[in-house]
Amino acid sequence: MKWLILLLLVGIAGVLIATRFRRQIQTGIYLWRMFTKMRQMSQTDEKRIEQKANSKEVPLVRCARCGTWIPQTKALNLRSKVFYCSANCMETAVKVG
């Protein structure tokens, strides 16, 4: 019997707290949903970028130092239209001038 009374008192206290702070609780729920939606959107953007990188329509670019053809998504670029296949090629090109 004492457990039932204790449970009833805790329930009443919960209802009073919920009615007193309902706006803050609603704001917290709204923020939680917003952040969850942002996280989902970010994950779908990452998946879209990965799919784009794995698609066959990625243009190939030529390394300015060694002439190797590589996908543009994996190339390193120092200037707007100058691409390198690796950091080694980039360093060598910078040292040479």
Q: Specify whether 25 is located in the same domain as 44.
A: yes
Q: What is the pLDDT of residue 55?
A: 64
69-84: pLDDT as tens digits: 998 888 888 777 889 9
Domain count within the chain: 2
Domain identity same for 65 and 43: no
| pLDDT score, position 44 | 80
The mean per-residue pLDDT over the stretch 6-21 comes to 92
How many other CB atoms are found less than 10 A from the CB of residue 21? 12
* Same domain for 64 and 51: no
Convert the pLDDT of each residue in 25-72 to its tens digit. 999 999 999 999 998 888 887 777 777 666 667 788 999 889 899 988
Residues 66 and 47 placed together within one structural domain of the fold? no
Same domain, 71 and 95: yes
What is the DSSP-derived secondary structure letter of residue 72? G
Together in a domain, 45 and 4: yes
Same domain, 49 and 77: no
